Structure 1
């Protein structure tokens, strides 16, 4: 077995929930990749490396400039969904988070076991 990867920094707004933190990190990475705004890309890098908190960055003009159009598009699409579609999406999201939490916990146990079995590495 190879050495397992260490955990990424927990995002401050996740309140200790590793699945939520990972979801937010993945979303931020995607937004960063799709952004043409160099200021936003730098801000996203700072958040992803833990140099800046998401809570603090979310109030910055750079963050708002990049995300406001995305949020407006989402809100418009959300309003077009039926109540059944909204409920289905919510249930799917909860199931995805539950699966992520299980996977993250399994990976955490594997890291602990590896460190216990390889104390000198």
Structure 2
């Protein structure tokens, strides 16, 4: 279970499961990016020195994030409607499982 002092990302509106998902996703993007400005912004967000809401529209964040979004969009376009629905259902199930885990259920 995450430390209670861990900053909850402001865009999660207090939802710890969404916050954990966003933090994990941002960590992966940071690891896979070769854009040093993006990596620094991600470090600041993950350390609680900056808020995602404040840096999301910055040119440095966009420059680091856009290649990942473009690759995802290309792959998503190749999926059938059934595959898209399955992906959405899987994401919802994972989020609900994380909420249950955080609630100690």
* TM, length-normalised to structure 1: 0.80
Gaps spanning 5+ residues in structure 1: where?
Answer: 108-121
SS at match of 1:65: helix
Aligned: 1:6 with 2:3: yes
Taking the aligned partners of 1:34 and 1:78, their CA distance within structure 2 comes to 19
Q: What residue in structure 2 maps to residue 61 of structure 1?
A: 59
Taking the aligned partners of 1:30 and 1:12, their CA distance within structure 2 comes to 19
1:99 pairs with one of 80, 97, 100? 97
The change in CA–CA distance for 1:39 and 1:105 in structure 2 (over 3 A counts) is same
Cα deviation for residue 5 of structure 1 reads: 5.6
- Please, what is the CA RMSD of the aligned residues? 1.5
The change in CA–CA distance for 1:67 and 1:12 in structure 2 (over 3 A counts) is same
Cα deviation for residue 73 of structure 1 reads: 1.1
* TM, length-normalised to structure 2: 0.91
The change in CA–CA distance for 1:70 and 1:14 in structure 2 (over 3 A counts) is same
Taking the aligned partners of 1:57 and 1:74, their CA distance within structure 2 comes to 21
Of structures 1 and 2, the larger Rg is shown by 1
Gaps spanning 5+ residues in structure 2: where?
Answer: none
Taking the aligned partners of 2:102 and 2:27, their CA distance within structure 1 comes to 19
SS at match of 1:59: coil
